[in-house]
Amino acid sequence: MKKARILVVDDDPVCSSLLLSILGDDYQVTTVNTGCDVADIANIQRPDVIFLDIMMPGKNGYQVLKDLKQDPQTSKLPVIIVSALSEQSDENLALRIGADGYITKPIVPSSVFAVLKKYL
């Protein structure tokens, strides 16, 4: 059986490594540490779910999310925000832009699996 593909976009290597360790046995996980080429990577790899950080240098997660949702090739991909921003206004903005879910850091494995169950 083919493993579902997950793209993790986070400039924090600790968070990326944690998601990789949580998901790596059951899913095909690709990690990138910048938002700059996410739309291109998503078009090539066609992940089943994208986990996306908001606070990154260069192109932040909100900008990446807008790019993904405006591109017909990636607009339907589920994007889950994983962020240290825990204010309701941050979550509301992400959902308004097009995020499909929002998980706050520190990452809790049960939250990750719950959101994956919803989209896979």
pTM listed for this prediction: 0.95
- Tell me the C-alpha distance between 118 and 4, whole Å: 13
- Say if residues 9 and 36 touch (Cβ distance below 8 Å): no
Residue range 31-88, pLDDT digits in tens:
999 998 898 999 999 999 999 999 998 899 999 999 999 999 999 999 999 999 999 9
Instruction: Phi first, then psi: give them for residue 77, nearest 5 degrees.
Output: -70, 130
Per-domain boundaries in the chain = 5-113
Residue 1 has pLDDT above 80, yes or no: no
Under CATH, which number does the domain 5-113 receive? 3.40.50.2300
Distance CA 13, CA 100 (A): 23
